[in-house]
Structure formats: C-alpha cells, structure tokens
Chains A and B, each alone.
Chain A
C-alpha cells in the first residue's frame, strides 16, 4: 500500500515561511491499497488538495476514516471535491458516541452558520459507519480501530495490506497519569493497534519541557511517543501532529531528540511532512 501525507500540523493550520518544510495543513493522510481502494485518514485542511487530486483521477469511492471530530481533523471535509460529485460514494467512518450519531455530529460543522452547505445537501452519496472495533476489509486492506486516550471520543487505526502495516494515532496521550515504562503493554492505550507495525504515525505535539504545562490536553511529548514506540516495537516512527507554534527548525530539534532517545539510529525516527510518501508491504520496491 502507498501512504501519502497531505497534512500533519496539529490543532490549527499554520501556513507561512517558518513551516514550509513540514507544512501547515492539518491532519490528512491518503492510503491507497494494493488493489487501488482509496482510504483517507482524517479530514484536516490537507484534505482540500487531496480532494482535487482524487477528483482529477476520477476516483468513484472513498473511505474517510476519522480519528475524532475536533475541527483540525474535520475542517477539510467541506472542501473535499469528491463530496460535490453525485457519482461518488463517500463512506465516512468515525468514533461512536452514546448520544449522537456520527452524521449528526458532523452536521454540527457542515451546516449554517458555520458552513454554507448542509450535510443533507451534499451531492455525493454518503454512508456513515462507526469505526470498526473488529477488523473489516476495505478493498485489499484490513482495517481495525480502537478507542484511545484523547479528549472526547477518539479512535486510532491499524491498516494492513499486502504484508505491510500502518498505525495512525494522530492525537493520543497514552502517558496521562501513568509511566508507560512501568505498565504491562495490555494496559497501554493504543498498544494493540501499534504492536509491531511497519510504520507508526503518532502524535508528537510537545517537547518534553512543554508537556508539564499541557497534561491532559490529549497529546504526547517526545519522551512519551518514543517510549510508546519502543513498547510497541514498531518499525519506523513518524512524528505527527506538529504543534502550530513549532517552526521547522524547532521540529528538527525534536526529531533529533527523539532519535537519540530511541537509540536505533538516525533513520528510525522521521518528521511527517506534506508530500511524504511511504510504500509498505509487497508494493515496496526491492
């Protein structure tokens, strides 16, 4: 499968010369399975250019897998061109809520006065699903979701296809109130999704010195994401959900700190950036 990052900024879009290298668009990752199915992880502002690319390609079915409904993960949905094509079928998956359907919660954003078009007026065929807590097939991929520690209902995803595996945990605070190093792995939020995946895209919003002022905000610092990746024994760690106040140079410093902490060589940790492309599994070039 092919994985492409269209947005990796956290909290709010942060365009500008100081974020040029890693990008200012919020969370959106495209996954193209080995049989060509189109999956989109989150609907941040990176979804706008992705939608243009998919419309140009003529894709007729898209699965949008939402981790949660905070605006930085949803704002691009209204600008996703396939939504405005009546010949396109868009499946939207998201965390279940005991009180409101996924469609009703999304409609809070896709309706006046926050947005000029109502969800019910979208031309594309829309189907809403609860994120799959038992593994399902989408095209050639197997997709599994699980609730994870963040603010409000939030899930992460594990996608396997063609011998490759990806875990997506863009907003995640598994260390809240505990020391990961002291916990058995089955007590760690997100562990089952991340265990031994080839590629982990994980929240790394804060530097270690910033975290004490942000405990409970739902995000991880470098120490925590590295410990999580170590416990889960992942192949490659990609730092994701960059803080909007962190410029490119600061992100480079955080990556270096993470690589040193992980101790598996400089290549074991990367920063997500717009346009980043990773091929996993049998599609990978020899």
Chain B
C-alpha cells in the first residue's frame, strides 16, 4: 500500500492559521492554484470557499478583477501574490477588488512566499486589509 498524497505541512499549518484568523487570507500552493481562503476573505469575494472550492491558477487571478486605486488593471503577476509567487519575495500594494456580487473593496494586500527549507517554496500567503468599501 503506497502512502496517500498530502499537502505540504507549511500549507496545512497556514490553513490552520487562516481558518482561525479574522483577517482575509488567501493560500496559494506551489502550482499557483488558490487552495484555500478563509471566512473573512469570503466577505471580500462574495462567495464561500465551500461554494467555489480550490481554484486553478488560470482562473482565480481574474476572479477579483484587481485594479489600482485609480482603476488601472493590474496583471496577475504584478499583484503582491504574483510577485511573491514568481519572484519568491514579499510584496505589498494598495488595490481595488471587485467581488462576485459587484461590490468594490479597496484593500492593502501583502503577500509572502512559504519556504519550508531554503529554495523549496511550497506556496504563498496573501493577506488583505480592507481600507474602504462601496
């Protein structure tokens, strides 16, 4: 009997943190897929994780329709999560996100890569701090 597949421990522990955190938090795995977001993030997205489930890397970048505060589109790789994933360093930006219900949220977004050992990245944590909503 072979052992079963399993997420990396750093992702498991990050999910435990997210699940208990009142701050919106998104968790991206080493393939770039959005594998978890918490209840606080559900309020920004307008849909629960239970509804959407894990979301492929191709899909989730477009989900929030991220722009700069003055409305200029932001490419996924230029968002804090994109920078943390592609360049493997922390990043921060002020962004606007549009939820599934059309509501717009201005957020401070911070993202950082998760390393278990030097050079071995298991994913990215992205935290949103809502500054205003409309």
A contact residues vs B (CB 8 Å cutoff): 96, 98, 135, 144, 146-149, 158, 160, 165, 176-178, 185-189, 191-193, 195-197
Contacts and interface: CB of A to CB of B under 8 A. Distances in A.
Contact of B1 (A146, A160, A188): A160
A187 B9 CA distance: 9
A227 to B, nearest CB: 15
Contact of A98 (B17, B19, B117): B117
A144 B117 contact: no
A187 B7 contact: yes
B12 interface: yes
B49 to A, nearest CB: 12
B123 to A, nearest CB: 13
Contacts of A191: 4, 6
Nearest to B3: A192
B16 interface: yes
Contacts of B8: 147
A196 B20 contact: no
A96 B4 contact: no
Contacts of A193: 3
A188 B13 CA distance: 10
B4 A185 contact: yes
A189 B12 contact: yes
Contacts of A188: 6, 12
Nearest to A179: B19
Contact of B13 (A146, A149, A165, A192): A149
Interface string B4-43: 1111110011011101100000000000000000000000
Given A149-B12, A149-B13, A178-B16, A186 B118 contact: no
A146 B6 contact: yes
Q: Which of B3, B6, B8 has the most CB of A within 10 A?
A: B3
B32 to A, nearest CB: 17
Contact of B4 (A148, A178, A186): A186
Nearest to A191: B6
B4 A158 contact: no
A148 B9 CA distance: 6
B116 interface: yes
A177 B17 contact: yes
A177 to B, nearest CB: 4
Nearest to A99: B118
Given A96-B117, A147-B116, A176-B16, A189 B9 contact: yes
A196 B13 CA distance: 23
Q: Which of A96, A98, A197 has the most CB of B within 10 A?
A: A98
Q: Which of B9, B13, B15, B20 has the most CB of A within 10 A?
A: B9
A141 B13 CA distance: 30
B12 A192 contact: no
Contacts of A177: 16-17, 19-20
Instruction: List the 4 closest pairs (A to B, CB-CB), nearest first.
Output: A192-B6, A195-B4, A177-B16, A147-B9
B22 to A, nearest CB: 13
18 contacts: A96-B117, A98-B115, A135-B3, A144-B3, A147-B9, A148-B9, A149-B9, A149-B12, A165-B1, A177-B16, A178-B16, A186-B4, A186-B5, A187-B12, A188-B6, A191-B6, A195-B4, A196-B4
A186 B19 contact: no
Contacts of B4: 185-186, 191-192, 195-196
Contacts of B20: 177
A195 B2 CA distance: 8
B116 A186 contact: no
A234 to B, nearest CB: 11
Contacts of A147: 8-9, 116
A126 to B, nearest CB: 23
Nearest to B21: A177
